[in-house]
Amino acid sequence: MTKSRKSTTNFSSTPPPSFPNTRMRRNRKEPWVRNLVEENRLSTHDLIYPVFIIEGKNRREKIDSMPDVERTTIDILLKTAENALEQGIPALALFPVIDSDKKNITGKEALNSKNLICSAIRELKKTLPEMGLICDIALDPYTIHGHDGIVDVNGKVINDETISMLCKQALVQAEAGADIVAPSDMMDGRIGAIRTTLDKNGFQDTSILSYAAKYASSFYGPFRDAVNSKNLLKGDKKTYQMNPANSDEALREVALDIQEGADMIMVKPGLPYLDIIQRVKENFAVPTFSYQVSGEYSMMKAADKNGWLSYEQTMMESLISLKRAGSDSIFTYAALDAARIIKNNI
């Protein structure tokens, strides 16, 4: 009979003292150690709070697709802005909700120096001059077709005629007191044209935040509800916003806008485009912003309502992931919630 071989493996032996030499868990053992080695930290100074403004006095309107986000009149917005400042949030991004009787095919209300957005800028600057104001440059809130630019008889958004309007829109907002104008339209060449217009009119210090890599995303639906443009939109925006499949193209867009005078760059949406944020930051080393858009926010809120996820935990995790990818600042509808959590955890 053949003898069975005796196993040489000694499962009861203790690992030598040197095994393993590197224990990654040592840097995770206590909260204070985790804080010491934390590579990325989210601050209230990284947050920008987008707000929706409506006409009138002492009015609030709920947005069904964006839980806990409201459209408010300017007088209420002043209180919101004061609260944001107290929480350490340095800037608001202003989005007007324009009454239908002020919309037309060219969006000319955008050029009215007494329009809703300019009135809001003046009131905010008069009451809270230290609050930074970032103002959207695009025609979609003002048009009856919901596009970001002027359309021809065939419904095509035409580039150069739109740029002329955007330059005038940027100028009236700068005159009202906007600190940063933020072209979100994705027309070719608009950054250089707006920079020239601002400089010629004495607004050399007005910054430009370019939505350089704005994708034709499905995550914008609740925002379009908020500004009442969803049901107006004819077709889609794929002829001027970027294809979600492309990343090299984003770098070309960013390079062009930097050459034309952009001070800061936006990648939008945020979480589905972490790779774009990282590539932009690594390739250009410019101030890089991201936008946690309405669809991202609303998904977390809906999941929390159904008990599937924690809104606060997923929101904070998504914000730190945007920071980790390379975002210097983040537009988020959760800014007030995030600021509260950050301050409570300090």
Q: 260, 189 in Cβ contact below 8 A?
A: yes
Indicate the angle between helix axes 248-260 and 190-200, nearest 10 degrees.
Answer: 20
Q: Whats the size of the chain, residue-wise?
A: 346
Q: How far apart are CA 290 and CA 249, in angstroms?
A: 17
For residue 310, give the 3-state DSSP assignment.
coil
- Which spans in the chain are helix H? 31-36, 74-86, 116-127, 159-176, 190-200, 221-226, 248-260, 274-284, 294-305, 311-325, 335-345
Q: 289, 329 in Cβ contact below 8 A?
A: yes
Residues with a catalytic annotation lie at 214, 268
Hey, which residues does 330 pair with through a beta bridge? 47, 290
Query: Exposure of 126 by Cβ count < 10 A (0-12 exposed, 13-18 middle, 19+ buried)?
Result: exposed
For residue 51, give the 3-state DSSP assignment.
strand
Q: How far apart are CA 80 and CA 94, in angstroms?
A: 12
Q: Which two tokens stand for residue 156?
A: 């095509």
Q: How far apart are CA 195 and CA 183, in angstroms?
A: 11
Report residue 237: phi and psi, to 5°: -115, 25
For residue 137, give the 3-state DSSP assignment.
strand
Q: Which two tokens stand for residue 247?
A: 């990343």
